[in-house]
Amino acid sequence: MKKTVCVCGLGFVGLTLSVTLAKMGFDVVGVEKNADTARSLQNGQPHFHEQGLEVALRTYLARGLSIHTHIPRRAIDIFVIAVSTPLNEDLQPTLTYLIEAVQSILPHLKAGALVILRSTVPVGTTRSIVLPLLASTGIDVRVAFCPERTIEGKALEELARLPQIIGGLDTDSVRDASELFRKVTPVVIEVSSLETAEMIKLIDNSFRDYMFAFSNDLAMACSALGVDASEAIRAANTGYSRNNIPVPGPVGGICLTKDPRILGWSAGQAGYQLRISSRPIHEAYLNFIVDRCEDAVNQIGKQLADCKVCISGLAFKGNPPTDDLRNSPSLDVLQKLRARMLPSARMYGHDFVVTDQSIRSLGLIPAQLEELDGIDLLVIATNHAQYSRSDMIKVVQGLNRPAVICDMWRVWDMNLIASLDGIMYLSDSVEVAPTSAMARMSGVSA
């Protein structure tokens, strides 16, 4: 018999899972409290960019997926909680949305129903907060924590191939959750407890954030030492399987900015202070980048305060592409630059995916990369693949020479830019003076 799955929360996690489950033959009830978002989804229009999502949504709206603002009165076998768990002003996890979502399903529970948590939570949340709420009904239900682990831009692809972690309250809970996800992905990993599954989600993103933080810390050290950080890292990785060091670059997004803090908070609640902290390094790296931009602008005889600046790449990452502006390091760079500029200074924004409307909402003038006009400082803030297909010479023609290009991800050919008159090039640890084709490190003459 076809089972009915109710997914509470249709953001990145919930919507991609909903269309995937509908594809697998489940009857899926998607619940999105925001009426405007729900209406858009009912019309087959996702509220965020994700490769293949619009086609999948339009396909399965007619074949097993329905969108609602409240849980409809009907028999539901499985509930999936996929709401956000943001940080508050003190950078501590807020579980208000999670608690509201669990409370919303209580009147609809039946004996033997399966409740799956997919939201990122502090370790112990399922047992200490969710279970008492469910127990208050007196109804015997199964409970599992099955973390979402996909990357924005490839979520539908990764849902179908990444191993799914299953942590359950008991053997029945593990069995039922595993049965569901075996229809989605070929590999299911059953772990010993709810807490282990909660921890695995935090491990995944925290490790990545620590790894990127090491690279950015290394870039700042290399700048002081007169070493090209990207060159050193790439050479260190080549043919040396024990290394997998990423190139430096600004790191953000809703998961990598939040999950290391949730991990640290969880450990702190248990009386242990983590010795590694990645987020302060990323924040210091952004200050480092902005300081270097201002110094470079001064070197070409201009003042940042009244420059025309364009930031290209406003989403939190470029590869895989997304239009997600949440916790984007590009916006941190924007804020830091804006604080050093005159209120009358004109600032422009460009992105290959983010809409002009969203760019205007940031107080920026939308711009086309190959149609810039009189820009003094161009900041390339993401590693979108489209940069390699852009006409770099045409882009440079729109700059107000002498000008500065800050290429945070080395998306363009440093040597080619070095050959162009009137362009100072900056990357993670290298700068190329506009009067010389020779690279020089920060503070070291060519």
Sign of the Cα torsion 145, 151, 157, 158 reads negative
Q: How far apart are CA 267 and CA 296, in angstroms?
A: 42
pLDDT in tens, 272-287: 999 989 999 999 999 9
Q: Give CATH superfamily name and number for 193-446.
A: NAD(P)-binding Rossmann-like Domain (3.40.50.720)
Q: How far apart are CA 330 and CA 317, in angstroms?
A: 9
> Beta partners for 407?
380
pLDDT reading at 445 higher than 70:
no
pLDDT in tens, 234-277: 999 999 999 999 999 999 999 999 999 999 999 999 999 999 89
pLDDT at 435: 56
Tell me if residue 168 falls in helix, strand or coil.
strand
Q: Mean pLDDT throughout 50-74?
A: 96
* pLDDT tier for residue 433 given thresholds of 50, 70 and 90: confident
- Buried residues in 268-281 as b, exposed as e (16+ CB within 10 A): eeeeeeeeeebbeb
Q: Mean pLDDT throughout 42-65?
A: 96
pLDDT in tens, 288-323: 999 999 999 999 999 999 999 999 999 999 999 999
Q: Mean pLDDT throughout 367-377?
A: 95
pLDDT reading at 126 higher than 90:
yes
Name the token pair of 291. 């300081």
CATH topology of 4-192 equal to that of 193-446? yes
> Beta partners for 366?
349
Q: How far apart are CA 71 and CA 370, in angstroms?
A: 48
DSSP letters of 273-329?
A: --S---HHHHHHHHHHHHHHHHHHHHHTT--GGG--EEEE--SS-TTTT----TT-H
Task: State how far the alpha carbon of 244 is from the alpha carbons of 71, 252, 263, 429, in Å.
Answer: 45, 20, 23, 20
pLDDT in tens, 185-243: 999 999 999 999 999 999 999 999 999 999 999 999 999 999 999 999 999 999 999 99
Q: How far apart are CA 380 and CA 410, in angstroms?
A: 9
> Beta partners for 165?
189
Give the start-to-end residue ranges of the domains of the chain: 4-192, 193-446
HSE of 341, CA atoms in CB hemisphere, 13 A: 24
Could you please state the CATH topology (level 3) that the domain comprising 4-192 is classified under: Rossmann fold (3.40.50)
Percent of the chain past pLDDT 90, that is, above it, reads 92
Q: Please list the alpha-helical segments (H only) found in 314-434.
A: 329-339, 356-361, 392-397, 414-418
Q: How far apart are CA 398 and CA 410, in angstroms?
A: 20
